[in-house]
Amino acid sequence: MNWVIPPPPQPFVLTDEGGHFPVGRIFCVGQNYAEHAREMGSERAEPFFFCKSAHSLVRDGQFPYPSASEMVHHEVELVVALQAGGSALSPEEAKECIWGYAVGLDMTRRDLQNAAKKAGRPWESGKAFEHSAPCGRLSRRAPQAEARITFHCNGQLRQQGQLDHMIWSVEEIVVRLSQLFEVRAGDLIFTGTPAGVGKVRPGDQLVGRIEGLEELVVKVV
């Protein structure tokens, strides 16, 4: 094939068995825990989605503090990786599409997101910036429904919850997403964060954990 410019490298995340999972798109679910929705001033009814670039993935444990923001927040989340796709999937089909799971962080320039919300504009500047999607190693083992999800900053517990506190389950998220898009193999879905989001600063050590999965450790640099 005669590329007019060199094609960019394929984004990927690692698996706990040493494999490479190619990533096409990253979908994120907004406010999927009731307490987090309330702390953001909302009440949830239907799931809604926004996107990050696959090139925003972080695998090396380094999160460079971004420019143009003075209020960068952490959001720890369960990440779901798809091995197949389709449109208008049934719950059973949605479950079959799932390859594995990981711990992720939806890093957010909250000041830019809040300004976009106030102006009725899209969120990309607050959500889809470079390095905004740290992701741990994928595992084929599904965490238990009642698995605990936590986030620590410099050893201090900031976020905690259980996966069964999600308003929309993993299968329901995939079903709803497939009604809006044709989901595909290689898609990642960040499934929402518990309450307790807050600021990070250069030098902070961030640790996201979900019982049954490999923890995610990130340094703000």
What was the pLDDT predicted at 176? 95
Domains defined for the chain, CATH in brackets: 15-220 (3.90.850.10)
Q: What pLDDT digit, counting tens, does each position of 162-205 carry?
A: 999 999 999 999 999 999 999 999 999 999 999 999 999 999 99
Which residue intervals of 32-87 are DSSP H helices? 34-39
Using CA atoms, how far apart are residues 161 and 218, in angstroms rounded to an integer?
A: 20
Q: What number is the average pLDDT over the span 135-155?
A: 97
∠ at Cα 80 (217, 202), nearest 5°? Answer: 25
Q: What pLDDT digit, counting tens, does each position of 15-60 carry?
A: 999 999 999 999 999 889 877 556 655 666 677 899 999 999 999 9
Q: How many CB atoms lie within 10 A of CB 2?
A: 3
Q: On the CB side of 62, how many CA atoms lie within 13 Å of its CA?
A: 3
Which range among 5-9, 76-80, 154-158 shows the weakest confidence by mean pLDDT?
5-9
Residue 71: name the closest of 109, 124, 125, 123 by CA.
Answer: 109
Q: What number is the average pLDDT over the span 68-95?
A: 97
